[in-house]
Amino acid sequence: MAKGIVIFNEDICKGCALCTTNCPVNIVVLDTSRINQKGYHPATLSDPDKCIGCANCAMMCPDNVITVERF
């Protein structure tokens, strides 16, 4: 069961992938099927139900693209 909700401001994501390398459960990925308005593949979750709410992804994002709401 998920312990957090992860919200991405995908329009400003620059696809740097720092969030993907710091997810302990490996669910943060770049969505290669889409391109945002800046021309990058935005970050997203591959399986939101596996999120543990650690917020490592949000802490590593240099552009404050990610918000984690824990519950």
Looking at the domain 4-70, which fold is it? Alpha-Beta Plaits (3.30.70)
- The three-point CA angle 41-13-48 to 5° equals 75
19 with 60: CB under 8 angstroms? Answer: yes
Q: What is the pTM of this model?
A: 0.91
Q: Which two tokens stand for residue 21?
A: 């390398």
Could you tell me the residue ranges of all domains in the chain? 4-70
pLDDT computed for residue 65 by the predictor? 97
Each residue of 27-63: pLDDT tens digit? 999 999 999 999 999 999 999 999 999 999 999 999 9
